[in-house]
Structure 1
């Protein structure tokens, strides 16, 4: 009888994280999804059960060191961890600065609107610090159980920089740097570290945002026209890349870009 392989997916209760978790479950992984919202976790579990897939759920906040420690302690108390997918994050669009419209209440005395420190810190804490905390505990669990496991970090096709994305792109560039750094440090333990950098995904989050912001929807249509494949990625296509990274035993330190050929960081 083959050993059961255990996986944790952060931000796994919706969107890409849920697509990855369901794919892993179909492939025979015992999969735990972690997320902050108990209602989303409940729905994810019920939808998986309707397809006869087993997902375990744990409420956890990757921005909290205590919460991350509790998550990994709970999952690895009696069984080893073979895979951690660091997916939790969010995209925040903010210009660094811009001239305010006359009479704008949000402008500072010099008439300039500034990217807030709060938005910067919240985005970096979730998209970068959360990867650090979860990756650290995953590596510790694998070393403790002497398991040659894998850590897959979800980056972004925009990690090299993009218009209006200071905090998000800086965080994702940091994720790619961690991926390479950890591959050097953890290779001696048989732990692989791989990044997956998706382009724009054609999921519910995108649809909701475009419905709320018609001007942004027009911009995104222009952006899509610059992609060689002429469409956004499907979540299952990105999940395929994550699972490839998890399974390939000689892949480490690399970032797999899966963006349809890649849009530029800005389209006028």
Structure 2
């Protein structure tokens, strides 16, 4: 992995950092010189991620971002171990898909609790550890900009994520804290592969998605991670309130 130490000496938090885009981001951050705290709900996956990242470069914090007590414990651990944060990547999310006539209260609550409430309070509770001039990256999705079948609640959470970036960029401008959103398109991750339990149907699903992608393929998690590094680093020093699509062109053309 060719790097240029764009995050040398930085302390970062990546929620949902044990798999997929979160883990790829943590790997990129470590390679770029950062020390990374990652959160996740499953201890075994966290332990495996920390082993991959290296215990000298990363710490795993078990918890659910929708549980405020878990967030308090995570922030307290970061404060005790490092005393500050320079970058927050609010990535933790869940996705479930039902047509409007099948939506239940549980379906609605679970996604808004993790994807929106979790993001709001992750950032709020981390703010006291962020020096002026820090950076916050929120993970949205192309689903926040496109209409697709059975995705209304998930898509609504992702539109909310993008809106949070705009509003927090204004709220935090006095502290020169930059807030931006990254919106991935279809990315090859365990989360995507877990959406469909039949290998045959999964292959059909991926073929359908790639057929409408201008680049003709799914994205890789590391391609999203490199965009997050850009927004977390001084390379994007004049960028705030923005939405960076990493989508193979699916929203753009």
Per the TM superposition, whether the score is higher than 0.5 is yes
Cα RMSD over matched residues?
Answer: 2.0
Deviations 1:127-151 (A, max 9, x none): 1111101011222322xxx332111
Residue in 1 that maps onto 2:110: 122
Distance 2:211 2:100 in 1: 26
Answering whether residue 108 of structure 2 is matched by residue 149 of structure 1, we say no
Q: 5+ unaligned residues in a row in structure 1: which ranges?
A: 98-113
Question: Over alpha carbons, which structure has the higher Rg?
Answer: 1
CA contact (8 A) 2:29 2:229 kept: yes
Distance 2:64 2:201 in 1: 33
Q: How does 1:1-268 map to 2 (within 5 A)?
A: 4-49=9-54, 54-77=57-80, 78-97=82-101, 114-142=102-130, 146-160=131-145, 161-210=147-196, 212=198, 214-215=200-201, 217-247=203-233, 248-262=236-250
The change in CA–CA distance for 1:234 and 1:243 in structure 2 (over 3 A counts) is same
Deviations 1:27-61 (A, max 9, x none): 00011111111111111111223xx8721111121
Residue in 2 that maps onto 1:105: none
Q: 5+ unaligned residues in a row in structure 2: which ranges?
A: 1-6
TM-score (norm 2): 0.89
Q: Structure 1 segments of 4 or more deviating over 4 A?
A: none
TM-score (norm 1): 0.85
Distance 2:148 2:124 in 1: 28
Distance 2:160 2:194 in 1: 28
SS of 1:138's equivalent in the other structure is helix
Superposed displacement of residue 200, structure 1: 0.7
State how many pairs are aligned.
242
Superposed displacement of residue 210, structure 1: 4.5
